[in-house]
Amino acid sequence: MIGSDYVLEAHNIYHTTEVDTGGCFNGGGQSALVLKGVHLTVHSGEVMAILGSKGSGKRALLDVIARRSEGSSRGQVLLNGSPLTKSLFQQRCGYVTHACDFIPGLTVSQTLNYTPTILGGYLKSSKVRQVLADLALSQVSHKKVENLNISEKRRLAIGVQLVRDPVMLLLDEPTQGLDPLSAYLLISILSNSAKKTGCGILLSMEKPRSDVFPFLDRALFLCLGGAVYSGGTRAMLEYFHGIGFPCPQLENPLMYYLCLSTVDRRSRLKSRSIVSSYEVRDLAIAAVVVVVFLPQFFVYCCFAGGNR
């Protein structure tokens, strides 16, 4: 269990890497700026969600923080005020990807027990039992890893990192491919674990459900590599309300503002952390014009042409 408060900070993060342009004859990608002046802060015991559509820069940001990104980066990533180097991240933090490289033939309990940690003997056995209980894996502790379902495998991958007692845990799309109930269970487990152990959690999500909103302490909305909003979830509602975009009562705040911030992917965000109310309003008006008036204009043209 973490004994002191930790703060993970990212300041003015820019990242350039090679992206796939989708061409048939260019034989590869081209260099592009995928992160543009992103800021974030996560404290011990908090859960922060990085939200954005495909290509918004979610995975690139996690990779930059974890010091495993390809390409060139600039900006600062700090852990308690000190630069977060690759070796420091490996010692004090964890990263859960979709690659579940478990050893076939081992049980869930054995997989956790064989994970290298600084603990040994009774202390490690106690830690493994605690992680199994916290991740709702106790009932399948003697089950072989190859016989687990996708939800159990995802939780076991998280457990491998939690056994190491990280101060910060990064997760790349942990709810992807899960049914709604399993996704809710996973996010609630992560939230409880963060509060119980003091571990800060930073996870990415593309399609957040409304039922996970109460478990999130902070949110970062990304659009084309730029930050539309970064801060507390309660402050998020107040911020968008203050610039003239209150969330409708029956709407999911996460999806509502995610859709609002990505309504026109061709627009380019300026290099600042929050989009102004005028930019958001212009995007919304443009979308209404295209959706409402363009079909009517098309019908009018067809009608007029037919009467000639």
pLDDT band of 22, cuts 50, 70, 90:
low
Domain for residue 187, yes or no?
yes
Q: State yes or no: pLDDT of 283 exceeds 70.
A: no
Query: Residue 18 has what pLDDT?
Result: 83
Q: What percent of the chain has pLDDT over 70?
A: 81
Domain for residue 108, yes or no?
no
Tens digit of each residue's pLDDT (9 = 90 or more) over 141-150: 999 999 999 9
Domain for residue 181, yes or no?
yes
Q: State yes or no: pLDDT of 96 exceeds 60.
A: yes
Buried b (16+ CB within 10 A) or exposed e, 239-278: bbeeeebebeeeebbbbbbbebbbbeeeeebeeebbbeee
Looking at 66-80, 118-132, 268-282, which range is the least confident one? 268-282
- Mean pLDDT (the chain, rounded): 83
Domain for residue 133, yes or no?
no
Bigger pLDDT: 271 vs 91:
91
Q: What percent of the chain has pLDDT over 90?
A: 60
Q: State yes or no: pLDDT of 290 exceeds 50.
A: no
Query: Residue 205 has what pLDDT?
Result: 92
Q: For 213-242, what is the mean pLDDT?
A: 92
Angle at CA of residue 187, ends 181 and 188, nearest 5°: 85
The DSSP-derived string for 120-160 is -HHHHHHHHHHHHHHTT-GGGTTSBGGG--HHHHHHHHHHH
Q: For 69-97, what is the mean pLDDT?
A: 94
| Residue range of the domain that includes 287 | 7-19+31-102+166-264+280-293
Would you state the torsion angle of the CA atoms of residues 119, 122, 125, 129, taken in this order, to the nearest 10 degrees? -120
Domain for residue 128, yes or no?
no
Q: State yes or no: pLDDT of 28 exceeds 70.
A: no
Tens digit of each residue's pLDDT (9 = 90 or more) over 153-190: 999 999 999 999 999 999 999 999 999 999 999 999 99
Q: For 14-41, what is the mean pLDDT?
A: 78
Domain for residue 180, yes or no?
yes
Bigger pLDDT: 122 vs 89:
89
Select from 61, 156, 36 the least CA-distant residue to 103. Answer: 156
Q: To which H or E segment does residue 91 belong?
A: helix 86-92
Query: Residue 298 has what pLDDT?
Result: 45
pLDDT band of 295, cuts 50, 70, 90:
very low
**Phi, psi for residue 118 in degrees, rounded to 5:** -80, -10
Contacts of 278 (CB under 8 A, 6+ apart): none
Identify the three-state secondary structure at position 213.
helix
Predicted model pTM:
0.80
Bigger pLDDT: 4 vs 164:
164
Q: Which pair of structure tokens corresponds to residue 106?
A: 């081992």
Question: How many domains does the structure of the chain reveal?
Answer: 1
Domain for residue 25, yes or no?
no
Query: Residue 112 has what pLDDT?
Result: 94
Looking up residue 44, the CATH number of its domain turns out to be: 3.40.50.300
Query: Residue 132 has what pLDDT?
Result: 96
Q: What is the 3-state secondary structure (H, E, C) of 245-302?
A: CCCCCCCCHHHHHHHHHCCCCCCCCCCCCCCCHHHHHHHHHHHHHHHHHHHHHHHHHH
